[in-house]
Amino acid sequence: MNLLTLKDNFLKTKIDIERACIEAHKKSKDITLIGVTKSQTADTIRQAYNEGIHNIGENYLQEALAKMKLLEDLDITWHYIGSIQSNKTRQIASAFSWIHSVDSIKISERLSRQCPKSKTLNLLIQLNIDNDPQKRGIHVEELESMVGHMLQLPNIRLRGLMIILSETTRSISAYREATKIFEKLKSLKSNQENIYWDTLSMGMSKDFYQAIVSGSNTIRIGTTLFGKRDN
């Protein structure tokens, strides 16, 4: 990717984040921006890192592992944001610091059990808040039970929720409902040993402004930063 284009895109994104934070009465330094680099090269990730994007999100394990090997010299925080297959949990637990897409008790148990002893995994539960059959994630009525189960698991920190809203259901009210659910569970569970509940990962290239205004503190940005992906 052209470095000047990346610089320009990142500057515009930072300006939009700042505007959203002003509207939401929060500080932009409290927003974590994850650069989503599916289909991007290791060289592009290196450019992004040099511009100040140190959190990188990947959707596909094998693609990510190849890039990680080329970027071992950089202090990148790697986030796994794609769907999780049971036969890939060991490698995901070993390679990534954050996993945003935990969508079943079975997957959370495998990640906990297969996490290397030298680390603690930061996990987010993927919530399918609009019950979209095309998306993964647990339903709202399953959430408290799943949180309660995950509290018993070693080697993890339960950090919060990851939410993807469908284009047909994106609205301020939908974002605020997600934030309300997040805050309710935070008040109920935040005193537990392995739960931090400080992360609401909500908002992508098309909707991060609304998401921040509504309460998100972690956004996952791909196309806005890196341009349209090659299929």
- Structural domain boundaries of the chain? 3-226
Angstrom distance (rounded) from CA 224 to CA 75 = 23
165, 207 contact by CB (below 8 A):
yes
| Radius of gyration, alpha carbons of the chain | 17
With a CB cutoff of 8 Å and minimum separation 6, the contacts of 118 are none
Residues in Cβ contact with 186 at an 8 Å cutoff, skipping those fewer than 6 apart:
160, 197, 198
The mean pLDDT of 19-38, rounded to a whole number, is: 97
pLDDT, tens digit, 9 for 90 and up, residues 149-183: 998 899 999 999 999 887 766 667 888 899 999 99
H or E stretch covering 207? none
For the ranges 45-54, 77-86, 133-142, which has the lowest average pLDDT? 133-142
pLDDT at 189 over 60: no
Residue 114: band (very low, low, confident or very high) from pLDDT cuts 50, 70, 90: very high
Say what the pLDDT of residue 117 is: 92
Nearest-angstrom CA–CA distance, 102 and 121: 12
Q: Taking 90 as the threshold, does the pLDDT of residue 43 lie above it?
A: yes
pLDDT band at residue 47 using 50, 70 and 90 as cut-offs: very high
Handedness of CA 129, 130, 136, 140 (dihedral sign): positive
Say how far apart CA 61 and CA 58 lie, in whole Å: 7
**Topology of domain 3-226, per CATH?**
TIM Barrel (3.20.20)
pLDDT at 110 over 70: yes
